[in-house]
Copies of this chain bind each other. A is one copy, B any other.
Amino acid sequence: MEEPRIVGLKGLEQATPRPAPTGFDGQGTLQDAVRDLITTYHDLNPTTIDELDDEPSPLEFMRYVARNRPFVVRKAANTWSSHKKWNSNYLREILRETNVNVAITPHGNADSILHLPPNGAVFVKPLERSEPFSQAMDRIKTQALDPTYSGPTHYLQTQNDNLRGEYATLFEDVPPSIPWARIALEKDPDAINFWLGNAASTTALHKDNYENVYVQVLGRKHFVLLPPVEAPCVNEKAVLAATYAYTGAHTDAGVLNKDDLVVQIDEPEEGEQQGTYVPFATWDPDQPDAHATPYSQHSRPLRVSLDEGDMLYLPALWYHKVSQSCNDEGLCCAVNYWYDLDFSGGFWAANSFVRGVGLLEQQQRQASVAAKPHPASLAGKDANASMDRWVREFQQGVGLREREGPQTQTQTTEKAQPSFGTDEDGPGAWSTAEKSRAFDRWVDEWQQQALGQTPESALAPPSAYPQTSSEAQVPQPIANAEKNSTMESWMRQWTTAQK
């Protein structure tokens, strides 16, 4: 090919290709990329759930699968035998003393995060016990109807295709598959699950690798739904696994009291030293300010409640948190159909990428936060602006108390000497309670500076908690004495650094 002639080229630099625009707002950082993914999604999708007048055709359903968007069909299961026949008496009559697997927890918190302030957490699975169905249902009802009930929470929730297993005698009351889902997805359900519980139980925010058709039979369920692109909002962490267990005082057959349950840390799996860690969402969309990531504020949860007979399509990989309300009999009962998601095409690969990049961005950012000087580890004269401000506050706090300190106080931060003494209540020093409040506020500020993130264990003052190896009481809020000594240590280090 002969060389073409070029007209109007101002110079070779002009023809050097530029980086293609990423399309991200702001500085075009990875953080901008993750945020824009979430906001773009919401710009293109409603924050309400579609309500269909009738069950969809397979093609109509497939459009929702392609779009990975949920819908609800009111009263779609009103014709099912389950809707017409199931109630406390019928279930008792069919299942009687059949032994069923019961999930037992003190607060209805099966498979969820138990936070151990300030920075700890465990992922607690329920105590699982085999009980006669009638007994389990009676306990569920009693808790719902009897205000004096003080026992633990029971939930029948095995999610192991139990409607074709331990509850198989009920299976004839529901269709063996959802016709439009079976035709569209060209497969039968992987699992059909029966759920029986009461309002005390909540299923924590999580996602499943399934296309899910959820049918309400008795009572109501309340869903909070997050699309897969919101993975960076849920603050997924690898959390120490634990299981509720009996204390020694009770046997398998006994009636359980709430106080009989302890959180038993799981044995480390083969080859692991520290314990078994389960990846799980630590953010709760109903408490959006706690355990948030910088992206959580961009979450736009869909909320929908199912009444008896209502049907929900809950698309694959959507995060969902589910709470429930009982009917007059004190029961909440549902059935759901799980169809394997299609791992081919780009959906699975792209959403794994979104989840992983969100985690990566968070870890990179936290590493960069950790690299910044922490008040507790100041060296040399690199005290940062926060520390300056805190010292100024400390001094002003003293000033506001209208006491004279042992040294002259100035409002300039340049080589200012904060006035604290070893005697907590000495002249010019804050009281123990004042120091404690200041500590709380400063730690909060520090966390907020770290872009809304707790920089993991960096903040835990040393030796704040007992390090017993066998049975540790859950840590209480940090003792005032600990706060005082930590804060004073920071101040002392800062002063030394300024000299």
Q: Does A257 contact B (CB under 8 A)?
A: no
- The answer, yes or no, to whether A343 is at the interface (CB within 8 Å) is yes
Which residues of chain B have C-beta atoms less than 8 A from A68's C-beta?
345-347
Is there contact, CB below 8 Å, between A8 and B44?
Answer: no
Tell me the A71-100 residues at the B interface (CB within 8 Å).
none
Interface: A26 (CB within 8 A): no
Asked whether A40 and B352 contact (CB < 8 A) given A14-B240, A18-B238, A120-B12, the answer is: yes
**Is A238 in contact with B346, judged by CB distance below 8 angstroms?**
no
**Known A6-B472, A472-B6: A350·B354 in contact at CB below 8 Å:** yes
Specify which of B353, B457, B476 is in contact with A16 (CB 8 Å cutoff): B457
Q: Which of B12, B30, B274, B467 contacts A467 (CB 8 A)?
A: B12
* Chain B residue nearest to A348 in the complex (CB): B44
Stretch at the interface among A55-63, A376-384, A392-400: A55-63
If A11-B469, A350-B354 touch, whether A237 touches B19 (CB-CB below 8 Å) is yes
Find out whether the CB atom of B264 lies under 8 angstroms from the CB atom of A7.
yes
Say whether B65 contacts A9, CB under 8 Å.
Answer: no
Residues of B within 8 A of A274 (CB): 10, 14
Known pairs A228-B346, A360-B28; A16 contacts B120 (CB<8 A): yes
Contact code string A463-475 (vs B, CB < 8 Å = 1, else 0): 0110111111111
Q: Which residues of B contact A186 (CB under 8 A)?
A: 63
Judging by beta carbons under 8 Å apart, are A262 and B4 in contact?
yes
Mark each residue of chain A from 98 to 138: 1 if its CB lies under 8 Å from any CB of chain B, else 0: 00000000110000001010011110000000000000000
Which residues of B have CB within 8 Å of A240?
14-15, 17
| Nearest B-chain residue to A460, judged by Cβ | B12
Which residue from B229, B344, B460, B471 sits with its C-beta under 8 Å from A346?
B229
Report if A253 contacts B (CB, 8 A).
Answer: no
> Which residues from chain B contact A355 at a C-beta distance below 8 Å?
22-23
Contact B264 A471, beta carbon cutoff 8 Å: no
Q: How far is the CB of A368 from chain B (nearest CB, A)?
A: 14
Which label, helix, strand, loop or mixed, suits the secondary structure of the A interface?
A: mixed
How many copies of this chain does the complex contain? 2
Q: Does A239 interact with chain B (Cβ within 8 Å)? A: yes
Nearest-neighbour CB distance to chain B for A294, whole angstroms, equals: 16
**Counting CB contacts under 8 A, is A37 at the interface?**
yes
Q: How far apart are the CA atoms of A490 and B239 in the complex, in Å?
A: 54
Residues of chain B within 8 A (CB-CB) of A36 are 353, 356
| Neighbouring B residues of A45 by C-beta, 8 Å | 344-345
Whether B359 lies near A239 (C-beta < 8 A) is no
Contact: A116 with B12, CB < 8 Å? Answer: yes
Q: Are A265 and B9 in contact (CB under 8 A)?
A: yes
Interface residue from B19, B69, B471 paired with A6 (Cβ < 8 Å):
B471
A336 at the interface (CB under 8 A from B): no
A-B contact pairs, 29 of them (CB 8 A): A4-B114, A6-B242, A6-B262, A7-B264, A8-B242, A8-B470, A10-B265, A12-B120, A12-B465, A12-B475, A17-B119, A17-B456, A20-B238, A21-B359, A33-B353, A33-B357, A37-B350, A40-B348, A44-B345, A44-B349, A59-B59, A62-B63, A63-B186, A67-B347, A229-B353, A346-B350, A346-B351, A350-B351, A357-B357
A residues adjacent to B (C-beta < 8 A):
1, 3-24, 28-30, 33-34, 36-37, 40-41, 44-45, 58-59, 62-63, 65-69, 106-107, 114, 116, 119-122, 183-184, 186, 227-229, 236-240, 242, 245, 261-265, 274-275, 277, 279, 282, 342-357, 359-360, 362-363, 366, 456-457, 460, 464-465, 467-476
